[in-house]
Structure 1
């Protein structure tokens, strides 16, 4: 297992991140945190730990600089800036392609809340690098016209009690041109804080990524 704290240069600034790559990793999962969150999100870290047991590397990045984060804590102006966040993810995707431990590995994007929209924007910009996109309690509707340009498969996971977000996910799903699936976790609210809810998210994400990797391998063998 390779574990390191990294800094990724973006727009004349640097973004800190935590990279953990198991030996013989099959893919790497890049997390896009949600509104007002960071790479230290305990929910994303829990999901990341589960994915590593399946042989997937994980990358948890702060998508805002320290200065931007301080401003956002007061004004909330950056957390909904989807072009900004999407562009930061693209920069990290390109950086991963240049690193010895992740070069050549397919990238899955895992986005929560507004991070899901940023992940979809990034997937539309880097179609050849993205294996799949997973949204947890996300706002894919905020990705706008990028939805029609996403070629990767998309998994939308929503809590059963998060009814408005279910509706927004259903609307966004109708605009996706590629393969997609909407999974509802019964009894879960927006943050999946109910006992066992986040574990279900981790399991369905793990299985989804595993299926996408198997399909990719089969396609290469044909």
Structure 2
């Protein structure tokens, strides 16, 4: 098991990330947190733990520098800058290709809230590297025209009581040109704080990634 905290160069900045690679890992899931959050998000860490048990490597990273996080507390300049966040995810995807523990691994992206939009933007820019995208309570609508350019299958997971976000996900799903699924967790609100709700997200994400890996290993299968 590889477990390390690293600093990833991204343009002129350096971002902190936690990399964990089980011995049997065959792919890596890169997490993109939502607005006002960080790599320490307890919800993303819980999901990441479930994915590692399933044999997937995980990378939880900060999308903003410490300076940007401080500025964002009083002026949300960065958290909604989807092109910036997407470009940073692309830089980390490229970095993972050179990292000894993840070199050659196909990449899945897991985005929460605004991080889902950034994940879709990054997937559109790296179609040969990204095999799947999972959105948890996400805002895929903020990905704009990148939605039509995504080539990886997309899983949208939304709480049944998160009605406005559910509506936005339904609209975004109609714009996707790849295999996709909208999974509604009954009774769950935006943060999936209800008992068992986040476990359903983790199980759905793990199954989605495993399906993509199986499709890659089976010639002629529609991924």
TM-score of the two chains, using structure 2 as the length reference: 0.98
Match of 1:70 in 2: 70
Secondary structure (helix, strand or coil) at the match of 1:177 reads coil
Where does the alignment leave 5 or more consecutive residues of structure 2 unmatched? none
Match of 1:52 in 2: 52
Structure 1 residue ranges, 4+ long, deviating more than 6 angstroms after superposition? none
Match of 1:34 in 2: 34
CA deviation profile, 1:181-216 (whole Å, cap 9, x unmatched) = 000000000000001100110011111111111111
Q: Quote how far apart the aligned CAs of 1:10 are.
A: 1.1
Q: Quote how far apart the aligned CAs of 1:220 are.
A: 7.4
Match of 2:129 in 1: 129
Match of 2:112 in 1: 112
Match of 1:142 in 2: 142
Q: Quote how far apart the aligned CAs of 1:219 are.
A: 2.2
Where does the alignment leave 5 or more consecutive residues of structure 1 unmatched? none
Q: Quote how far apart the aligned CAs of 1:34 are.
A: 0.2
CA-atom RMSD in angstroms: 1.2
Separation (CA, whole Å) in 1 of partners of 2:143 and 2:13: 24
Match of 2:159 in 1: 159
Secondary structure (helix, strand or coil) at the match of 2:166 reads helix
Count of residue pairs brought into register by the alignment: 222
Separation (CA, whole Å) in 1 of partners of 2:184 and 2:190: 11
CA deviation profile, 1:3-61 (whole Å, cap 9, x unmatched) = 00000001211100100000131100000000100000000000000000111000000
Match of 1:19 in 2: 19
Map 1:184-195 → 2, pairs under 5 A: 184-195=184-195
Secondary structure (helix, strand or coil) at the match of 1:203 reads helix
Q: 1:220 to 1:106 in 2, by over 3 A?
A: farther
Q: Quote how far apart the aligned CAs of 1:151 are.
A: 0.4
Separation (CA, whole Å) in 1 of partners of 2:211 and 2:58: 18
